[in-house]
Amino acid sequence: MKYLFTLFLLASFALQAQNFEGFYATMALHDAKELQKDVPGEVEILKEYRNEAVVYMSDNASHKLHDRVLVHGPGYIRMPSFEEAVKAVEHPKTRPDSSRMAFTISEDAAVNAAIDVVNTQNIEDHILELEGYGTRYHTMASATQAAEDLKTKWENMASSYGRTDVSVRLYNHSGTNMPSVIMTITGASIPDEFVVVGGHLDSTSNQGNNNAPGADDDASGIATITEAVRTLFETDFVPQRTIEVMAYAAEEIGLVGSGEIAADYDNNSVNVIAVAQFDMTNYNGSTNDVSLITDFTSGNLNIFMMSLMDHYNASGVHEVTYATSVCNYGCSDHASWTNRGFLSTFPFEANFGQHNSSIHTASDTFSLSGTATHATKFTKLCAEFLIEVAKSEGSLSVGDVLPNASLQVNVRQGVLTYTIEGVSETFVSMQMHDIQGKIVVNKSVTSNQGQISLPQLSSGVYVVSLTTENDKSISQKVLLK
């Protein structure tokens, strides 16, 4: 089947056809050039675009990539055709401004209830359960079995809490026989807006794919998202937006499962407002707990994740510390969503390079850490993300909000007039961001109402934020014509 598919590709794109059996992919140009030195004749660079390359490469070359460059995931993104690959690098999709939403923090009661019932033992049990398949390499029968069993596990979990708003399906792919698994919790009031959390169910090993326990990579992520959702059920949380929990197939061979799902959702205009990826959560390799990956992710969403941890995990039993790190090209499924213009974030177990070095080997077992305490922190963050994003339509602000305050803003002839009501605190600064999150105006203020002259700004949507001396803020969107 795979061979026929390749023949079809070779026939369809004769101009790009190579004289060896392989597949099309996109990857970092630098990595592609390095890889060519290792496996001459097995990597063809077909097109260069900025720092990216469209390549045709052999399976052997893709395995060598792990030895050559420091990668976590595959290090490349598999593409169904040369044309799709070119389109992906030359015309990366971006959403219209109007789809960018703001993320607020307001659900303290629901979040605190959920993170109080996160059960570390459940996470440990689930990691061991997945490790028990021996391998979840996407072509193996045990990988498909793991997907079918996970569907049953999620269905049983939902019904044990009497949830009638939950359904679970297998998502079949064209690029792999292994299905992905998707749990849907239908939103109570805005069901056509989606919040996605995911991780990959498949595993791989460079010591032979029949022994790929994949405990950290990525049984830990699947266990993390499963336990986070269980806490929502246990605390009777009803999302206003639709939540989807995804266990992706075939991440390890080039983000195949998530790539097909993100393309499908994009092509069908599914309104996914935020995606969080949990891939490797149980190896404590850095001084900080969480490393937010800043490449191929959304800056806005990363700031929101930091705000969640500042708000809910600053100290005490729920303390979580964080830093930022960069991962690599196509290092996990978040990149599939980012490539389709969706906002994604990827909290990772350690700073890149300090992560679990046993991944992609037969030694990636639970016994390495022996406890799921590190993954427990990610489970809390996942629950916080789900509750705060799925709650309802939010206003545009990030950080500590002032719930009873109101802010009126208008701009006329280059002068911004603001009025804040319903709050006694003193405001000390005003910032204006463009929709990419870049600060375009930063001024100190002395009053809860006033006027500020603006520099020349291009037309579009901006976010005006005023912050108090106690670092609380209130924001409002403003459209400049």
Q: How far apart, in whole angstroms, are the C-alpha atoms of residue 12 and residue 194?
A: 36
- So which residues are the catalytic ones? 200, 217, 251-252, 279, 360
In the complex with Zn ion, the residue whose CB is nearer, 266 or 279, is 279
279 binds Zn ion (CB under 5 A): yes
Pairing of strands 190-200, 271-277: parallel
- Beta bridge partners of residue 439, listed in sequence order: 433
Smallest separation (angstroms) from Zn ion to the CB of 204: 9
In the complex with Zn ion, the residue whose CB is nearer, 260 or 279, is 279
Is residue 467 within 8 A of residue 475, CB to CB? The reply is no
Smallest separation (angstroms) from Zn ion to the CB of 358: 13
In the complex with Zn ion, the residue whose CB is nearer, 124 or 279, is 279
Smallest separation (angstroms) from Zn ion to the CB of 74: 9
Q: How far apart, in whole angstroms, are the C-alpha atoms of residue 226 and residue 247?
A: 10
DSSP string covering 230-254: HHHHHTT---SEEEEEEEES--TTT
Look-up of token digits 């939403």: 101
In the complex with Zn ion, the residue whose CB is nearer, 69 or 270, is 69
* C-alpha 115, offset from chain centre: 20
* The two three-digit tokens of residue 212, written as one number: 């790929």
In the complex with Zn ion, the residue whose CB is nearer, 279 or 388, is 279
Is residue 166 within 8 A of residue 183, CB to CB? The reply is yes
In the complex with Zn ion, the residue whose CB is nearer, 222 or 463, is 222
Binding mask 237-276 toward Zn ion (x if CB under 5 A, else -) reads ----------------------------------------
Smallest separation (angstroms) from Zn ion to the CB of 251: 6
- Binders of Zn ion in range 187-226 (CB under 5 A): 217-218
Q: How far apart, in whole angstroms, are the C-alpha atoms of residue 37 and residue 445?
A: 58
Smallest separation (angstroms) from Zn ion to the CB of 46: 27
Q: How far apart, in whole angstroms, are the C-alpha atoms of residue 70 and residue 65?
A: 8
Angle between helices 373-390 and 108-116 (to 10 degrees): 150
Print burial letters for 371-405: b (CB count within 10 Å at least 16), e (below 16): ebebbbbbbbbbbbbbbbbbbbebbbbbbbbbeeb
Smallest separation (angstroms) from Zn ion to the CB of 73: 5
Interacting stretch for Zn ion, rule CB under 5 A, among 61-69, 173-181, 278-286, 440-448? 278-286
Count of residues interacting with Zn ion (CB under 5 A): 3
* The two three-digit tokens of residue 137, written as one number: 């390499």
* Chain positions contacting Zn ion, by CB under 5 A: 217-218, 279
